[in-house]
Structure 1
Amino acid sequence: MTYWIGPCNPNYYDVRGALDQFDNEVDWTKRISIEIGDIFYIYESKTSKRIIAKLEVIDNQVTDKNRLKDDMFWKEEVKISKTGYFRMKLITMFDEGMDRAWLKNNGLKSYLQSPERINSELLTAILSWELDNDIKNNESSSDLTTLLIDKEGKRIGYYTYRYERNSKLRQAAINYHGLSCACCEFNFGQTYGEIGKDFIEIHHTKPISSFTDEEIVNPITDLIPLCSNCHRMIHRRKGKVLTIDELKNLLRK
């Protein structure tokens, strides 16, 4: 899966109107090597100058004959693309945030004149922003924070971890890293078929038991997909959690 970002000038094309008209789907000129399942962020230039939508590529072989007839949303003469189109399905619209200044501060290097792959620095920032925004708007703090409380005489000690039980955090890690084990590359779906589809265990690179205060988990740097065997081996020794590289070295012996 590849993450892309591309500009759309509302003075030329009304992408919002097209999404409303065609059941949250839109066709885009195919100028990049894009695959089904890739994620595409639309950056609205000239007006709001921010990311306004996140979409998933559902077809990369759309031709002029079967493209969505969106001519009414173009504010200039429609030019037929010789390279074809790819079709995307809307995942979410963003009402605010991730504007030009924010993108530049978080790793955007270009002027966004055409679609481009999102670099790892910027992708980390975008996914983290999405998680924070989604959690803030849609979930109560009681769903996000687990408190482990123990009494020691008159003193009450506690520690918390945030987001760990949030399914969106797990999914964000899978979206970035995939469903294969980061150590041995085992894939449950490929081995077991339908029963193993979409299954993988998610490992915290920093053990939750080491948290002494509320901490935010980054799905790209802090969560890693592991098969059950590798996950157990990483935690095999009490008080000594192996790193991914250490376990890989053991596998090579």
Structure 2
Amino acid sequence: MNYWRMSFRLGSNGVEVWEQCRKQGIAAMGYYYNGEPVVGDCRNITEKEFDAIWRESGVRSRTGKSSLKHVVFHMKEGDVIYAKKGTEIVGKGKIAEEYDYKPGIVKQDGVRWEHYVKVDWNTDFKPFVLDLSANQHTVLKINQERLARIREKEYGTDINLTPDIIDEVASAEEGKKYIREASFRQRNRKLIEQKKANSDYRCEVCGMRYEDVYGEIGKDYIIAHHLEPIGNRDEAAKTTLDDIALVCSNCHDMLHKTNPPMSIEELRTQLYQ
């Protein structure tokens, strides 16, 4: 099982079609260039053929290409999709049927998408605010760190790992690692809050401070990064303030581009070399 975050908006400030997709029981997207779809019906082509069509189109968008490829080739029955709307996670559903193609299956105010998967959207899902960054991606495959952050919001600070939750995450490739991460985060929340309270909320890699860039909405915002990855721990281990670094979302993503993650010093050296 894989987890995905998906937005349902045409461009960064365009038409929002989440409600239409929810009502139709689908997750859909399209990508257009000069008014025409970059790639048409993908039901009978391979990933290599998809890549060739995209390359020949001359479109340079890597995020657009990867997002559409996820819908066409990578989303599988049983995978979970979290629907994104601005800074909110507004829906959750499980893929019921894999990729299909129907021109105009989503049509609204200039939007005319045709690539989709069928989804059983959860009617009891309660939206919450959570910015997972990488917002330029229409479709984002959720890694374990981001999944733990979603779960923390979805089930509350005092998350109770009930059998149904454990069954769902344990069926994922690294489910057991998530359960370890979730319980670890609950035990260490006060430590993280203390680390932040003692800081100036400035990224330890690049020096960026959210309040300086975004004003009031960025006040007291920063991400806690564990210098020893939680997922690498086979059992509980004591964590101190010195084991946590405070970083911006961009640097946090870059730290985790390697496995194991880079050190703060290594990334800072790459940034300023």
TM-score scaled by structure 2? 0.42
Structure showing greater radius of gyration is 1
